[in-house]
Amino acid sequence: MSTLVALRPRILRPVAPPPSGVVRLEGAAKQVLESSRGRLTLAAGVFAIAFAVVGMRLVDLALSKPVNDAREFELPRANDAAGYAADRVDIVDRSGALVATSVPTASLYADPRDIKDAREAAKRLKTVLADIKVEDLEPRLAAEGRSFLWIKRNLTPRQQYEINRLGIPGLYFQREDKRIYPHGSLMAHVVGFADIDGKGLGGVEQAIDSKIRGGREPVQLSVDIRLQHIVREELQAAISEFSAIGGGGLVMDARTGEILSMVSLPDFDSNAPGSAPADNRFNRNTLGLYEMGSTFKAFAIAMALDAGTATMRSSFDAREPIKISRFAINDDHAQKRWLTTPEVFKHSSNIGAAKMALEVGAEGQKAFMRKLGMLDPVQLELPELGKPKFPRDWRPINVMTIAFGHGLSVTPTHLASGIATVINGGILRPPTLIKRKEGEPVPGKQVLKPATSDAMRRLMRLVVEDGTGKKAEAPGYWIGGKTGTAEKVSRGGYKKSARLSSFVGAFPIHDPRYVVLVMVDEPKGTKKTHGFATGGWVAAPAVQRIVQRMGPLVGLPPIDETPEIRRLLMVDSQSQPKEKSVAAR
């Protein structure tokens, strides 16, 4: 039996088309799409978590020490324990130019307890550090009971990198600072140097070590690096020309006592002081003690004028040598006649200077030298300071020889400071290597009468215009000065063939600003100088060149002669003596 079902016809309704560009999926396709979207979301989440983990690990590695080779910059500095902080402040010249600074470096050390194979470690280190010896390092790395061993201090960045690459367990790095001197030897005797632990061992570095080590601001020197270049070049030229063994050069501000240049040759590289001979580290300007010869006649005449035992018109019998026992005092430029005070200075008469000093006497001369600072070490920011040598019993013979620069040994810095006092109005200003602050009063003590200083300026100009210092003349700069030539002291007497030739001058002498000193040690005469190696031939020309080069740098262009300048410097030295001194009689 069949059942009949009535079929209702389907009514088809119109369906709205999908939006443009959109495909509507239905059924199985839709399920596939939903499943893929879920998987993509899960994968993105996994990658995000992975990147987060990697990023956190990188941060962790950057902030924490690696297992093997990066205790670097983590431990306390080794030299802190010794009391010498590595962060020494910079040292700059008077214009701010850098002359000493510190840079961070890594130093290599080992913990022998962590070294697995001492010989293998030493051999592999040798591939990077060529100067180490495997046979020396191996037993040290194998030493039992030790936990710390320096291997190499102040590595270069390349060395540190290469050692890191070796991956040797038990090797570590220590952060330290290395002292660097950008100008090498140029400032060596002024700045000095510091050792590997940051302790000053010479020059300013040692003299004011605590200030450099504990300071916050750079230490500013009085030295001008530009003048230092000039003085060094001209001093070296003089040493080379006259085949000398060394020399010293100074420039000092006569108004403030500031030392603008100090050069001692031979010198050394402050970056490697241990590689230089001891003689190169010797500062001739502050540690060397010399009899400065006829430059001391400036003090003898200033002393007599200041004491009133002589005037510019006084005269002295220089016709015959002064005989003392089996010795005699002679003149190198003998005039064999009576000489006025200006003539004694112009002709550099030993006889005249000796007789002038005798009128002042031993006690007076000793007191004069003491108040000029000639009997005590110079007070200067350096550890290398020589103590003057003078007679224990100051007898008449000593009075005479000291008057022309024999029998009293001082440093060139003593001489420069004394001449500054003689020409600056008679005020003794302590020399310094530290720049004085603007506006602060300059320390000083009046030790000579202003009238004495005025007379000495005239006499020093006379020496350059018409005396032994003619070769120091630099037109327009009005240099005044005094030559000096002395036989060097040796055991039991003097070395006839070994001289110290010098010239100390000031400019402009009518209104003194700067003192310039050049000293050449054991020069030899040349064909050009007719065999002479005196201060006038050797040192005076060097001073001339220094003044000509430094004048424009310090703002002092050449000055034409004026009636006022001529009046300030005029000396009537041509007239014959009209009165005789007591000593002459």
Check if 294 is active-site: yes
**Rounded CA gap, 176 and 132, in Å?**
20
- Evaluate whether 449 touches 253 at the Cβ level (below 8 Å): no
Instruction: Estimate to the nearest angstrom the gap between the alpha carbon of 416 and the chain centroid.
Output: 18
List the structure tokens of 466.
């018409």
- CA angle, corner 209, sides to 205 and 212, nearest 5? 85
Respond yes or no on whether the N-terminal peptide bond of residue 169 is cis (omega within 30° of 0).
no
**Rounded CA gap, 464 and 419, in Å?**
15
- Evaluate whether 249 touches 427 at the Cβ level (below 8 Å): no
**Rounded CA gap, 67 and 406, in Å?**
71
- Evaluate whether 193 touches 202 at the Cβ level (below 8 Å): yes
**Rounded CA gap, 478 and 561, in Å?**
9
Rg (CA), the chain: 40
User: How many CB atoms lie under 10 A from the CB of residue 571?
Assistant: 20
Q: Which of 102, 222, 264, 294 is catalytic?
A: 294
46 by DSSP, 3-state: which? helix
- Evaluate whether 515 touches 250 at the Cβ level (below 8 Å): yes
b (16+ CB within 10 A) / e for 88-124: bbbbbbbeebebbbbeebbbbbbbbeebeebeebbeb
175 by DSSP, 3-state: which? strand
Among candidate residues 369, 365, 371, the one with its CA nearest the CA of residue 445: 371
Q: How many residues does the chain have?
A: 585
User: What does each C-alpha distance from 77 to 71, 163, 194 come to in angstroms?
Assistant: 12, 20, 16
User: What does each C-alpha distance from 331 to 335, 351, 468, 544 come to in angstroms?
Assistant: 8, 6, 13, 26
**Rounded CA gap, 496 and 141, in Å?**
59
Active-site residues, by number, are 294
